[in-house]
Amino acid sequence: MTRAGCRGEGPSTLPTGPLAPHLGEPYFYNVEIILPDRIRRCQSNGARLMKQVEKRGKGPRGLAKADITRAAISELESVGEAGFTLRKVAARLGCDPMTIVYHFRSKEGLFRAMAGWISEQLDGVDATRPWDGRLVQLAEGLRSLALGYPSTFRLMQRFMNTGVSDYKHSESVLQALEEAGVSEEQLAQLCLGWYACVIGLALAEVDGLLQPASQTELEEIEMLDPTAFPITTRCTESFRNLPRGAVFSLTLETFLLGIRGRAAGGGTRGACESV
């Protein structure tokens, strides 16, 4: 028996014997009768291939880095850094801790990815705003993330950059500072200083430093000698009625005023020469 031609060409030799009932059909239509097992094997192999394509980019047990990162963030926000371990993250995912090491190499690598995830949630700036408005927009976005993910946000202060999305935001900060008139040699320094200021303020609010004074603290202030602590005692009501977010906004505004003044003065140190 020779191989049949393609559909429409007709067979070169028709099947005989057991295939006689199909003599009136081209050989092409008898494939499932001749090779049923081989067809099923091909279908099975094709299904496995499709699953491999779907899992492309994933590691052991089919876990992607994004899945692990999100699980790690949930774990960190639940137990805090002191109780955070790769084993606990693995338990959340139902995998072996070595799966996490496969993707991130170390706990520090996972922390960097988690900080990078925080940066990815930050919206880009509105390019139509003036330079100081863009910096305020970024700062407010960082503050919101700190309040929403306090434990994970804390990781951002460990790394100068956490990935491509972080570079996009830092580029926006550099552009704003340059537009403000900051000199080329001071751009990097003030960019890092801006981040330190904003991240520090956000974490201080998360930890309670920027909250209204407690009753115990107010009672301690009231016990102070007004002649020795005249300004502190005068500010008692201000400490008592501190508006939410007021310290963050005022400090950021003062920082931006300093940038304006420094740029206007040609970037000189001025009164801070001894610092």
**pLDDT digit string (tens) for the chain, length 275 residues:** 444 444 444 444 444 444 444 444 443 334 444 344 544 554 455 445 334 433 444 555 578 999 999 999 999 999 999 999 999 999 999 999 999 999 999 999 999 999 999 999 999 999 999 999 999 999 999 999 999 999 999 999 898 888 888 899 999 999 999 999 999 999 999 999 999 999 999 999 999 999 999 999 999 999 999 999 999 999 999 999 999 999 999 999 999 999 999 888 766 554 444 43
Sign of the alpha-carbon dihedral angle for 176, 178, 181, 187: positive
For residue 82, how many other CB atoms are within 10 A of its CB? 6
Is the pTM higher than 0.85? The answer reads: no
Res 151: pLDDT: 97
Task: Please check whether residue 205 is in contact with residue 248, taking contact to mean a CB–CB distance below 8 angstroms.
Answer: yes
| CB-based contact 248:143 (threshold 8 Å) | yes
Q: What is the DSSP string of the chain?
A: -PPP--TTT--SS---GGGGGGTTS-GGGGHHHH-HHHHHHHHHHHHHHHHHHHTTT--GGG--HHHHHHHHHHHHHHHTGGG--HHHHHHHHTS-HHHHHHHHSSHHHHHHHHHHHHHHTSPPP-TTS-HHHHHHHHHHHHHHHHHHSHHHHGGGGG-S--SHHHHHHHHHHHHHHHHHT--GGGHHHHHHHHHHHHHHHHHHHHHTTTSPPPHHHHHHHHTS-TTTSHHHHHTHHHHHTPPTTHHHHHHHHHHHHHHHHHHHTTT--GGGTT-
Length of the chain counted residue by residue:
275
